[in-house]
Amino acid sequence: MIQHTKIDDLIIDREWIMVDLPIYTYPGVDFSVSTPSVDISSHLRQEYEVWQALYQAQTPLVQRFLEAQAPTIAEAIVTHLHRLQINLPDSISAEDLFNNVPGDLTVPREMRRQWVGSLTNRLAHINLETSLCKRLSELEQSSNLAVALSAHLLHHAVAIYMVHTMLPSGHTVNYIPAEGEDIPTIPVTDGPQAPSKLTAIPHAGGLPGDFVPDGQSELNVPYAQAARCFYMPQWVAFNQQGNLLLNTISEAEALIASMQSFLEILHTVFALAPYMVADETFQQKRSGMLGQLVNQGRALAYYKTNEIIRSIQRRTAAHKLNRGLILSLPYFDDQDLSIKMREMKIIPFGRIMFVPAFMVLAVRAEQTKVTQDMRLSSSTRKHLLNELNILEHAFITSTDK
């Protein structure tokens, strides 16, 4: 289950939040990245620029050293390993970046190899992501400046790899929000369309660790016109009319899972390095995939709702619903970014003949509950009420109209 609200609150140039932020403190060193009580988006952008500049100031050898470790660490995080060895470079360069800092800093030999995770953490259900964040934070607060900056560099290299390389890239899209909503989910199709063939990443339904980096193992696949207005056409299961573009609903569910895994990796990056929200690629991938997932997740819920309606109508015609009915109505929660179920008791268990009026009464009672349910976001509430309206109109009698 993915919580995206923190990322959503930190969209650069949109949200302004006043907080007290710590100043980096090392003896005799001025990082000049923040002051207390500044807006958080500006602070995160400055922090991103500082570590990006430090990374680019390193020699090609040090950059390759960090880049070689990033895939191993990233894969260990997304595959939930429990123990991992990380290595700091022998030396780093900080010339002309910070005040009162010599050009080359040597990392003590005994600090270059670090272990993250342990059997104790595994027994305590502490995942590698938490252990890695804790260990890197400790190293970044080291009194030895070379160790602190090396840890920051490794931290940055992992975050950059996960955003730029681990996740496949889509194409430029434009989404607009539905009326009264904040999340843009409706693709704009005005202007030139994407070409009929786009680069697809194989194994789209795989685990997060199965993602193929950009430009590797590419496969040209033609996509339906309805799919080409989304960020990742190969992960589109429904057109804008709610029609299934695939052979089975299980294939659609696999694509939804792929999109959830994509955003889960971005959420992991945010947990590791919050300043990555200032990265343009992070924002492009996040907004492109978030709009697509919410759109397709809702379409899946609507499709399943219509399947439920047809199933109930078939069973009613066959007189197989006369022993009670409890309905699990699927809906897409845009806070957790997952399909959830809303339990509804239509008629109690017993020998009671099903009539459509029971469904209408139950739906209207549920509409009242949903309207008052403050646990749901306003957009999720609107989506769920739309589903209930579909359910009501499918069973309402002519005298009820």
Whole-model pTM: value is: 0.80
The tokens describing 361, both together, are 């009464």
Answer yes or no: is pLDDT of 331 > 60.
yes
**pLDDT tens digits along 28-61:** 444 444 444 446 778 899 999 999 999 999 999 9
Answer yes or no: is pLDDT of 398 > 70.
no
Q: Which pLDDT value is given to residue 350?
A: 67
346-350-354-357 Cα dihedral, nearest 10 degrees? -50
Answer yes or no: is pLDDT of 258 > 90.
yes
Contacts of 189 (CB under 8 A, 6+ apart): 229
Query: What residue spans define the domains of the chain?
Result: 17-166, 175-201+210-298, 317-395
| pLDDT band of 401, cuts 50, 70, 90 | very low
317-321 contacts at long range (C-beta below 8 A, 24 or more positions apart): 321/354
113 three-class SS: strand
Q: Which pLDDT value is given to residue 20?
A: 36
**pLDDT tens digits along 113-163:** 988 876 666 665 667 778 888 888 889 999 898 999 999 999 999 999 999
Q: Are 323 and 350 in contact (CB under 8 A)?
A: yes
Amino acid at 67: E
324 vs 345: CA distance, rounded Å: 9
Contacts of 56 (CB under 8 A, 6+ apart): none
| pLDDT band of 2, cuts 50, 70, 90 | very low
Q: Which of 95-109, 190-204, 293-307 has the highest mean pLDDT?
A: 293-307
In the block, tokens 């990322």 appear at 7
Half-sphere exposure of 197 (CA within 13 A, CB side): 4
**pLDDT tens digits along 54-66:** 999 999 999 999 9
Q: Which pLDDT value is given to residue 172?
A: 87
Half-sphere exposure of 139 (CA within 13 A, CB side): 27
Q: Which pLDDT value is given to residue 119?
A: 61
| pLDDT band of 198, cuts 50, 70, 90 | very low
Answer yes or no: is pLDDT of 291 > 70.
yes
235 vs 112: CA distance, rounded Å: 42
Q: Which pLDDT value is given to residue 80?
A: 81
**pLDDT tens digits along 352-373:** 778 888 899 999 999 999 999 9
**pLDDT tens digits along 61-84:** 999 999 999 999 999 888 887 788
